[in-house]
Amino acid sequence: MQKRKLGNGGLEVSALGLGCMGMSFSYGPPKDKREMTSLLRAAVERGITFFDTAEVYGPFLNEELLGEALAPFRDRVVIATKFGFDLSPDSDPRGMRGAPAGLNSRPDHIRQAAEGSLKRLKVDVIDLLYQHRVDPNVPIEDVAGAVKDLIREGKVKHFGLSEAGVQTIRRAHAVQPLTALQSEYSLWTRTPEKEVIPALEELGIGFVPYSPLGKGFLTGAIGENATFDSSDFRSTLPRFTPEALKANQALIDLLAGIGERKKAAPAQIALAWLLARKPWIVPIPGTTKLHRLDENIGAVSIELTPDDLRDIENAASKITVQGARYPEKLERMTGR
């Protein structure tokens, strides 16, 4: 597996990471723990060294899963986790599925969250700690300062933000240099290209696209008649209505066409396209299936030529993606 560097802080990870949320959260009930442990260890054996989790996934179940599964490989892996939601008993921990849980990035809460993550992950230091969503009630300088203290104390190595806007990124970076920004980015969510990616390049911050396969859509496995159980948060997303799925099929046709040329699956072309954007971009596709893990890893060895990239760009420019990526209240929590 090729390696890439995130940011100027020297954090080196596999060119492709593994998003672990769906193993415990959002895509139906939590998956079988033994099966997911086996999948995580198979990822390590195949060269993946970068694993993404958060305290809200479960809540807490996903961190516990990774803590146990990856304990034998601690010296070979980089685990990123996140703080920023209020997970007290009277809050709504299912915020990522419907009504958002309250945000809480007060410095005392950040410390409390980090201590909990350290225990659940069974580690002495968190490799990469992200603020999950920007909290409008807490100045980002206070957030960055709290993480800076944790870094100074040896409890955290690197600092990141998720779904933050450019001004927030700049203000945080001035207090504690950011190693990475994590935001949704794929052929059907290209918002970061306008302002965020140029700012990251200027500041020397790595980019970690989550949902690089459009929450499964860009695999080509979700047809226009697909239905989702109420425990699957895609059932709440405007982009997964039958009308939107039908309209957005043009993107699958585009990926499949390039894939035929390259003898590759649509998902592999979608990931190879992201990897070709910048050398400091590390996508984190999630999966709960070994054959999908292998398919995703295969994307790293696919080389898209300038002609391929031009063809994708020309075709994509003629496609208007239908449907918002989140319901309005979740959309409001992004780009702050």
Residues with a catalytic annotation lie at: 57
Angstrom distance (rounded) from CA 82 to CA 60: 11
Please answer whether residues 305 and 261 qualify as being in contact, where contact means their C-beta atoms are separated by less than 8 angstroms.
no
Other CB atoms within a 10 A radius of the CB of residue 37 amount to 16
Q: How many CB atoms lie within 10 A of CB 10?
A: 10
Report the run of H or E that residue 5 belongs to, with start and end: strand 3-6
Q: Tokens 């892996």 belong to which residue? A: 77
Strand order in the sheet with 50-52: 18-19, 50-52, 78-83, 126-131, 156-162, 180-184, 206-210
CA dist 136 and 332 (Å) reads: 11
State the Cα–Cα distance between residues 172 and 170, nearest whole angstrom. 6
Our CA angle for 331, 226, 210, nearest 5°, is 40
Q: Which two tokens stand for residue 298?
A: 């295969």
Q: Which residues contact 317 (CB under 8 A, 6 or more apart)?
A: none
- DSSP β-bridge partners for residue 209: 183
